[in-house]
């Protein structure tokens, strides 16, 4: 039996369909779907099915010293038991195995992990590797026609990264968390890539806070024929000079010169991962969401592999044939126009041999994709068209005007040939049309304007810009950068987009930059990344790189332990600020986020026990105190972060509690949805909008139907129905515990 291993279930299904030519038979092995035809079985993994970890004895944070983790044994542990069981069963029967996981460092490691498990039960099992950049019929058939060898060195470089990241992350995270007193679910994570990335955000915020605005003025004049000109000096820093200019201006403007030039804009380079994420960010997608959608489009054969550093199309891609695919469908007019041109592809600065740039691989209709999928697919299609198009041509007019004794100017721009901009509307460039004018012509001054302005601080990093900066500094890889940013949100280190650091982030970075700056600088991370690449190139051994990283970490701990008391003071002082919600309306003391003896969270008064004012908080998720303040209660708004979910803006915690009380008062006690544990205010709103207002309504509704109407998962609805049934039994009433459900 020939066993083929794909990285994910959907990829396995599509590969099996292409190779079989018909719908393959679906079998379940250990609860895992596999696809078979003739003597071939295609099985999908779920990414990594094993992971690296320490032996169980090292998991006790209180008994194991963090420095002991640096040279502790690292073991491989199973993370997907069912898939491993299925792989062993199929591997035992196989006489040949083909690794068909994604072609990059991570994909090679995932494939080698699967191969090792299969060879545990079938030693010496022959193996080969197929590599492809798109899951299309042509690409898959070509890849399987010429299988290659498994690249164990490339997999070793990925394995080295896992070990290095585990050792650095575990040891540093444990040190910072224990030193700061932030344990349990609120631990403070520190990472080899995460921390220098966070330092970029915090340092930019410091620049913004330290920025001192400088006032300046601009002088504009409105002339006849709808011409507006600005003073040639641009920014004028002395207000007295503004008055002098105004005094020297006359009643009319003399056109001294009209300079007409042509300008061309080159087409954009093909998408690599970094430029794709940046472009997707410009149309409202987070880095992680853009990559998730792109990976789904790749798996279903609509676009090429989205993890690539390449910005040059290889000669093997028939660009004309590819563009011709779109002569039908929603891009028909664009394709017809494109195919009439010379179609000379643009080139970026990087050309690699693993994967081509991101490009569309097949035609899709808007109806077969979800809205977000279509937006990303359209972005890729239009970028592909733009890279094959001609230059955009402009006519630029520079106008010099003398008003009295003062020089003024205007600049006009007229689009002559849209070129690539016809296909790619995301890169906007506005025309500024000037009327027909003659040198020596005089125009009356209709109005004079003085604009008072201030210099602006540097802008915060948006996700797209941050990804670009990480790429430039060598922080992370094309496959990991968006995950790093997601972790910063999940750890409540940043909020919003552009990214703004929380007080927790400021406290952690300040302590590290002061006492162990190596952790916050990109140089160390870049060096390790280069060495991991050398593993793949067979220039250095995996063990040597791991050992060097441990030596680096040891030197970092020399700094940390030499300043442990100062770090503890710095962290605890900084972290306390992030827990302050505002002033207590009862006594004027600070309201602070606290934990109860049972582990629950609440907002309590620092004046306790003299003042017992409290407000409730959700049990789950990270709590971020934002900068927005409630006009009514003077409290900072709260945001709740749950991994894999959209942030929940709870708002003012006092307003939230009062709203819950009002809703509860409107419903009879014996028929209150709010009594269902785990059902918070946002879910209540969704249920009520779907027509479910009482536990009885909930119990007589189909979970699947209600899920479609409310957007809540059917699994969660079934769970609430079980609680509602239990609540129907006589029970002693107890105070509510969920968000917005506690008493003051």
For 139-179, the pLDDT digits (tens) are 999 999 999 999 999 999 999 999 999 999 999 999 999 99
Instruction: With respect to residue 343, please indicate whether it lies within any of the assigned structural domains.
Output: yes
* 253 shares its domain with 396: yes
Whether the Cβ atoms of residue 558 and residue 547 lie closer than 8 Å to each other:
no
* 189 shares its domain with 224: no
The stretch 513-527 carries a mean pLDDT of 91
Q: What is the pLDDT of residue 495?
A: 87
Q: Is the per-residue pLDDT at 583 higher than 80? A: yes
The stretch 498-527 carries a mean pLDDT of 92
423 catalytic? Reply is: no
* 198 shares its domain with 221: no
Structure tokens of 527?
A: 């060096």
Q: What is the pLDDT of residue 644?
A: 66
pLDDT per position as a tens digit, 422-441: 999 998 888 999 999 999 99
Instruction: With respect to residue 630, please indicate whether it lies within any of the assigned structural domains.
Output: yes
Structure tokens of 61?
A: 């944070």
Pairwise CA distance, residues 5 & 304, whole Å? 19
Pairwise CA distance, residues 494 & 313, whole Å? 37
Q: Is the per-residue pLDDT at 736 higher than 60? A: no
Instruction: With respect to residue 54, please indicate whether it lies within any of the assigned structural domains.
Output: no
Instruction: With respect to residue 735, please indicate whether it lies within any of the assigned structural domains.
Output: yes
Among 294-298, 647-651, 716-720, 732-736, name the one with the lowest average pLDDT.
732-736
Taking Cα atoms as reference points, which of 206, 235, 245, 6 lies closest to residue 102?
6
Instruction: With respect to residue 445, please indicate whether it lies within any of the assigned structural domains.
Output: yes
Q: What is the pLDDT of residue 738?
A: 37
Q: What is the pLDDT of residue 125?
A: 97
Q: What is the dihedral of CA 649, 651, 657, 663, to 10 degrees?
A: -70
Q: What is the pLDDT of residue 424?
A: 96
* 302 shares its domain with 349: yes
Q: Is the per-residue pLDDT at 737 higher than 50? A: no
Could you list the beta-strand ranges (E) of 105-206.
Answer: 127-129
Q: What is the pLDDT of residue 728?
A: 65
Distances (CA, A) of 694 to 127, 240, 530: 60, 71, 60
In a 3-state reduction of DSSP, which class is residue 433?
A: coil
CATH, residue 376:
1.10.290.10
The count of domains in the chain is 6
Q: Which of the pair, 126 or 673, is modelled with greater confidence? A: 126
Q: Is the per-residue pLDDT at 182 higher than 90? A: no
Whether the Cβ atoms of residue 466 and residue 200 lie closer than 8 Å to each other:
yes
Q: What is the dihedral of CA 583, 585, 591, 595, to 10 degrees?
A: -170
Q: Is the per-residue pLDDT at 365 higher than 70? A: yes
* 37 shares its domain with 103: yes
Query: Residue 730's pLDDT band (boundaries 50, 70, 90)?
Result: very low
Local structure of residue 674 (DSSP, 8 states): G
CATH, residue 435:
2.70.20.10
* 36 shares its domain with 145: yes
356 φψ region: left (φ > 0), alpha (ψ -120 to 50), beta (else):
beta
Structure tokens of 649?
A: 């803006």
Q: What is the DSSP string of 287-315?
A: HHHHHHHHHHHHHTTSB--S-----S--T
Q: What is the pLDDT of residue 354?
A: 79
Query: Residue 744's pLDDT band (boundaries 50, 70, 90)?
Result: very low
* 410 shares its domain with 490: no
Structure tokens of 17?
A: 């369909």
Taking Cα atoms as reference points, which of 241, 71, 161, 195 lies closest to residue 505?
195
Q: What is the pLDDT of residue 278?
A: 94
* 424 shares its domain with 400: yes
Q: Is the per-residue pLDDT at 741 higher than 50? A: no
Q: Is the per-residue pLDDT at 184 higher than 80? A: no
Query: Residue 667's pLDDT band (boundaries 50, 70, 90)?
Result: low
CATH, residue 549:
1.10.460.10
- C-alpha of 540 from chain center: 32
The stretch 354-361 carries a mean pLDDT of 93
Q: What is the pLDDT of residue 671?
A: 53
Q: Report percent pLDDT > 70 for the chain.
A: 96
What is the domain range of residue 37? Answer: 2-45+80-150
* 375 shares its domain with 479: no
Q: Report percent pLDDT > 90 for the chain.
A: 72
Query: Residue 234's pLDDT band (boundaries 50, 70, 90)?
Result: very high
Q: Is the per-residue pLDDT at 73 higher than 70? A: yes
Question: Positive or negative CA dihedral for 367, 371, 377, 383?
Answer: positive
Instruction: With respect to residue 35, please indicate whether it lies within any of the assigned structural domains.
Output: yes
* 85 shares its domain with 126: yes
Q: What is the pLDDT of residue 640?
A: 86
* 542 shares its domain with 465: yes
Backbone angles phi, psi at 253, to 5 degrees: -110, 135
Instruction: With respect to residue 130, please indicate whether it lies within any of the assigned structural domains.
Output: yes
The stretch 523-527 carries a mean pLDDT of 90
Q: What is the pLDDT of residue 733?
A: 36
Q: What is the pLDDT of residue 729?
A: 55
In a 3-state reduction of DSSP, which class is residue 565?
A: helix
Instruction: With respect to residue 494, please indicate whether it lies within any of the assigned structural domains.
Output: yes
Pairwise CA distance, residues 666 & 681, whole Å? 14
For the chain, the straight-line distance linking the first and the last C-alpha, in angstroms and rounded, comes to 68
Q: What is the pLDDT of residue 60?
A: 86
Q: What is the largest CA-CA distance in the chain?
A: 95
Q: Is the per-residue pLDDT at 731 higher than 80? A: no
The stretch 320-338 carries a mean pLDDT of 96
Structure tokens of 464?
A: 């797209």
In a 3-state reduction of DSSP, which class is residue 136?
A: coil
pLDDT per position as a tens digit, 190-227: 999 999 999 999 999 999 999 999 999 999 999 999 99
Pairwise CA distance, residues 137 & 460, whole Å? 44
* 132 shares its domain with 183: no
CATH, residue 690:
1.10.150.20
The stretch 622-639 carries a mean pLDDT of 88
Q: Which of 305, 313, 423, 493 is catalytic?
A: 305
Among 24-33, 142-151, 239-248, 681-690, name the one with the lowest average pLDDT.
681-690
656 φψ region: left (φ > 0), alpha (ψ -120 to 50), beta (else):
alpha
Whether the Cβ atoms of residue 695 and residue 724 lie closer than 8 Å to each other:
yes
């Amino acid at each position: 039996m020939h066993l083929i291993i794909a990285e994910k279930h959907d990829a396995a299904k599509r590969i099996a369909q292409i190779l079989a030519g018909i719908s393959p038979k679906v079998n379940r092995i250990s609860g895992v779907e596999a696809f078979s035809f003739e003597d071939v079985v295609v099985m999908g993994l779920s990414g990594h099915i094993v992971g690296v970890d320490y032996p169980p004895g090292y998991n006790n944070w209180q008994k194991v010293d963090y420095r002991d983790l640096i040279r502790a044994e690292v073991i491989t542990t199973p993370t997907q038991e069912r898939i491993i069981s299925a792989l062993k069963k199929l591997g035992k029967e196989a006489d040949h195995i083909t690794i068909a996981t994604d072609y990059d460092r991570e994909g090679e490691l995932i494939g080698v992990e699967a191969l090792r498990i299969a060879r545990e039960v079938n030693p010496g099992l022959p193996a080969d590797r197929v590599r492809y950049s798109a899951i299309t019929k042509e690409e898959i058939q070509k890849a399987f026609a010429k299988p290659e060898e498994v690249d164990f060195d490339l997999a070793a470089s990925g394995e080295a990264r896992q070990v290095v990241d585990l050792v650095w992350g575990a040891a540093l995270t444990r040190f910072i968390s224990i030193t700061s007193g932030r344990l349990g679910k609120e631990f403070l994570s520190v990472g080899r890539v995460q921390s220098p990335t966070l330092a970029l955000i915090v340092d930019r915020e410091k620049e913004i806070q330290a920025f001192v605005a400088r006032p300046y003025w601009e002088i504009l004049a409105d002339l006849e024929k709808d011409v507006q000109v600005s003073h040639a000096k641009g920014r004028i820093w002395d207000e007295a000079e503004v008055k002098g200019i105004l005094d020297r201006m006359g009643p009319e403007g003399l056109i001294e010169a009209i300079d007409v030039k042509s300008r061309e804009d080159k087409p954009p380079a093909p998408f690599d991962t970094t430029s794709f994420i940046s472009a997707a960010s410009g149309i409202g997608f987070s880095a992680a969401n853009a990559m998730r959608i792109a990976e789904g489009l790749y798996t279903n054969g609509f676009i090429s592999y989205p993890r690539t550093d390449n910005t040059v199309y290889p000669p093997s891609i028939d660009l004309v044939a590819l563009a011709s695919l779109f002569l039908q469908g929603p891009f028909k007019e664009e394709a017809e126009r494109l195919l009439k041109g010379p179609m000379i592809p643009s080139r970026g600065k990087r050309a690699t041999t693993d994967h081509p740039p991101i490009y569309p691989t097949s035609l899709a209709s808007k109806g077969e994709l979800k809205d977000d999928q279509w937006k990303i697919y359209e972005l890729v299609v239009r970028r592909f068209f733009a890279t094959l198009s001609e230059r955009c041509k402009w006519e630029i007019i520079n106008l010099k005007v003398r008003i009295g004794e003062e020089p003024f100017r205007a600049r006009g721009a007229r689009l002559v040939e849209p070129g690539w901009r016809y296909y790619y509307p995301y890169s906007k460039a506005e025309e500024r049309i000037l009327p027909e004018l003659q040198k020596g012509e005089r125009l009356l001054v209709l109005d004079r304007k003085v604009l008072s302005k201030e210099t602006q601080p540097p802008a915060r990093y948006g996700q797209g810009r941050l990804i670009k900066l990480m790429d430039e500094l060598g922080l992370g890889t094309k496959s990991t950068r968006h995950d790093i940013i997601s972790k910063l949100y999940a750890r409540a280190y940043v909020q919003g987009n552009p990214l703004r650091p929380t007080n927790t982030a400021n406290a952690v970075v300040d302590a590290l930059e002061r006492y162990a700056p190596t952790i916050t600088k990109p140089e160390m991370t870049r060096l390790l990344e280069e060495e991991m690449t050398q593993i793949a190139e067979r220039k250095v051994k995996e063990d040597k790189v791991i050992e060097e990283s441990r030596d680096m970490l040891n030197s970092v701990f020399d700094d940390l332990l030499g300043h442990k008391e100062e770090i503890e003071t710095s962290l605890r002082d900084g972290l306390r600020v992030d827990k302050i919600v505002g002033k207590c309306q009862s006594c004027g003391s600070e309201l602070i986020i606290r934990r109860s003896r049972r582990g629950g969270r609440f907002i309590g008064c620092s004046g306790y026990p003299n003042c017992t004012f409290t407000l409730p908080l959700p049990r789950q998720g990270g709590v971020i105190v934002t900068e927005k303040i409630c006009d009514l209660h003077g409290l900072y708004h709260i945001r709740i972060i749950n991994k894999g979910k959209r942030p929940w803006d709870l708002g003012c915690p006092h307003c939230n509690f009062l709203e819950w009380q009002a809703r509860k008062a409107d419903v009879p006690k014996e028929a209150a949805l709010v009594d269902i544990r785990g059902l918070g205010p946002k879910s209540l709103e969704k249920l009520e909008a779907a027509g479910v207002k009482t536990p009885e309504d909930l119990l007589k509704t189909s979970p699947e139907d209600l899920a479609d109407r409310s957007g809540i998962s059917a699994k969660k609805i079934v769970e609430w129905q079980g609680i509602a049934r239990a609540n129907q039994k006589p029970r002693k009433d107890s105070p509510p515990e969920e968000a917005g459900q506690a008493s003051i």
